[in-house]
Every structure is written in structure tokens, then in C-alpha cells.
Structure 1
Amino acid sequence: MMMTHNEDIRGQIYEAVSGLSSETLNLKPAEGKWSAVQIMEHLYLMEKAITAGIMQALAADSDTTAEPKPYQLTLDRSRFIDAPAHLVPAGEFIPLGDVRARLDQSRAALEAVLAQSDKDIWSRRVYPHPVFGMMDVAQWVDFVGIHEERHLAQLREALAAAV
């Protein structure tokens, strides 16, 4: 399955926060910057939203194609785009166990949707990305890992400032 990269990055995220206290993980590195927990909460919110979009795309009864998009540009952290309001973490204290449980839940939901779908139609079901435009389900699945890889670097910076 295409989820190998996604699982690797998620494992690196969990490894980065392993053994750290919830207090440390909720510390913001600076004003206007997200804490490690906020970054993880954002990833949860994003994966939930992507899963909902994939479900909607897969339910469509018409084939559409999307050109390959340069979503790997997401890894270029010199480019900054504000997250849409519904994907911005609230900022309340969240214990590590709770945010990990949310991430595990969103990943299980994504995997369930993908497992129940016909992989052959992934390239023919699309929905829009706010920056890159129409992307097919296969691109969205890959984007999940790319997006988390971007935020893994941000997470490591937040942790370096917090400890």
C-alpha cells in the first residue's frame, strides 16, 4: 500500500516525542509558534479532513482525472501558508496520550476508508487542495506523509526550543 512513507513519518513523530512530559510537549517555543502537541493536533485535524475529502471523492459516480501536482513543495519550509481556521489547533493543554490517541484514530479511519475502496479508482476520483488545486485520491494519500514530514521538522524545532 502507499502508506509506507506515511507510517515511517508517523513513527518518527512518535519517536521524537517519546519519553517527554506532556508539560514539555505543550510548551510553545515562541509567541506565535505552535507547541509540539499543537503540531500533532494539527496533523490529526488535517488527516481527519483529508479522510473526509477522500470519502466524498470515492463516493462520486463520475470519473475525473487530475494532473500530477507539485505537492512535494510542501517540504520547502521557506514557503509558508497559514492553515485554514478549521485546521488550526485550539491551543489548550492536551496530554500526550490523548493527542496520540487522536492521531491513531485518524490514521485508522484513513486506512479503513482506503481498505474498503477499489484502489483502481483512486486516480479517477478527485477533490481540491486549497493550494495545488484538484488532486486525485492517490495524490492525497501521498500528500498526508509529505505534509507530516514538513511538520516533523517543525516539531523537532519546537522540541529543541522547549527542552
Structure 2
Amino acid sequence: MVLEQIQAVRDEVLQSVKGLSDEELNKAPSAESWSIAQVLLHLQQIESYFLSLMDAALQGPNEEVKERNLAYVTDRSHKAKSPIDPPSGFKTREEIVVRLTQSREKVIALIDKKDPATLSEKALNHPVFGKTSVKQTLEFIAAHEKRHIEQIQEIKQTLVVK
């Protein structure tokens, strides 16, 4: 099920930052780059953004939408400018994990116990893909997080613990 998929990826996200200090989470590789904390907050913001779109879609009429190829979402050789920049400023691991947990709990509460067919029959207007089913939007959230796991790994390589 798609909820298991997005939760497995979220577990990977959290595992990717396990053991990092608050200072390491907040250290950006350069002035033009995000810190790991900002990447994590970006994931939470994107999930919250799509939560509101999915909520509205689930209350709307059924629509037939074409399945999208989401394979390129995880390809970091294709750069994309985020429409939502994360906040700057020092954030603790605890603050970040609480925000990630709360946004995921809201998604689960919205989607849990819904007939899987309903998730394919309800559509929203994705800012990149156009009309997309709620199911594919959840798949996008998972792919987007996988993309950023790679970014987190890249940032971790720049951290030099002295």
C-alpha cells in the first residue's frame, strides 16, 4: 500500500540523519546550499502543501487522470528550483522530527482507511505534473523524499567533524 511506501521512505530519511548533532544538521556546505535541517524542513513543507491539495481532492468529484512517470523525480542530475524555500535559522533535531512526525500523521489520518480505488479516482493539480491522482501524489512525496536522501548524503560528505 502507498502509506507503507511513504512511511518506509520517511524511515530512511530519519535513519540518514541518525547520529548527527544539531550543529551538523544546521551546517550548510556553502552560502548557496541548504543545510540538512533545511532539507528536512523542506520535506515537511512540501508534504504539508500536498496535504491540503489532497484533502480538497478527496472531497471533490472523481476524475480520470493519466498515470505519470515519476522516475525522474529521484534523479539528482536534473536540478529543480523549489517553489518552497525552507526557513533559515538554527533548528534542533527535536523540532525537526516533531514537524516531520506531525505532517506525516496528518497525511496518514487523511488517507488511512480510504479505499485504494478512491485514491486513484481523485485528482489534484500538481504544480509540475498537472492533473495527478492522490495516489500518484503520495508516490511523488515518497520519490521526492528519496531524492533528498541523496542530497542529505551529499551534504554529510561535506561535514568535517573536528
TM-score bucket of the superposed structures, by smaller chain: over 0.9
Aligned with 2:131: secondary structure?
strand
For the pair 1:106 / 2:103, whether they are aligned, the reply is yes
Residue identity opposite 1:79 in structure 2: H
Gaps of 5+ in 1: none
Q: Which residue of 2 aligns with 1:157?
A: 154
Q: Which position in structure 2 is the counterpart of 1:72?
A: 71
Gaps of 5+ in 2: none
**Structure 1 residue ranges, 4+ long, deviating more than 6 angstroms after superposition:** none
Question: What corresponds to 2:50 in structure 1?
Answer: 50
CA distance in structure 2 between the aligned counterparts of 1:44 and 1:88, rounded to whole angstroms:
11
SS across alignment from 1:42: helix
- Which one-letter code corresponds to 1:107 in the other structure? R
> Whole-Å Cα distance in 2 between the matches of residues 9 and 153 of structure 1?
12
Aligned to 1:3: 3
* CA–CA distance in structure 1, aligned partners of residues 12 and 121 of structure 2: 31
Residue of structure 2 in register with 1:137 after alignment: 134
Paired residues, number: 160
Aligned residue in 2 for 1:89:
86
For residues 114 and 6 of structure 1, what CA distance do their matches in structure 2 show? 12
Letter in 1 for 2:118: I
SS in structure 1 of the partner of residue 76 of structure 2:
coil
Residue deviations 1:18-72 (CA, integer Å, cap 9, x gap): 1211011100012211100000000000111111110000011x22111011122
Contact kept, 8 Å, 1:71 with 1:132, in 2: the verdict is no
Matches for 1:13-28 after TM superposition, within 5 Å? 13-28=13-28
CA contact (8 A) 1:64 1:125 kept: yes
Look up the match of 1:121: 118
Counterpart code for 2:67: P
Where 2:2 maps in the other structure, the secondary structure is coil
1:61-117 deviation digits (Å, cap 9, x = unpaired): x22111011122111111111111xx2101111101100110000000000000153
CA RMSD of aligned residues (A): 1.2
Q: Secondary structure at the match of 1:128?
A: strand
Identity %: 29
30-39 vs 8-17, which moves further: 8-17
Q: TM-score, normalised by structure 2?
A: 0.93
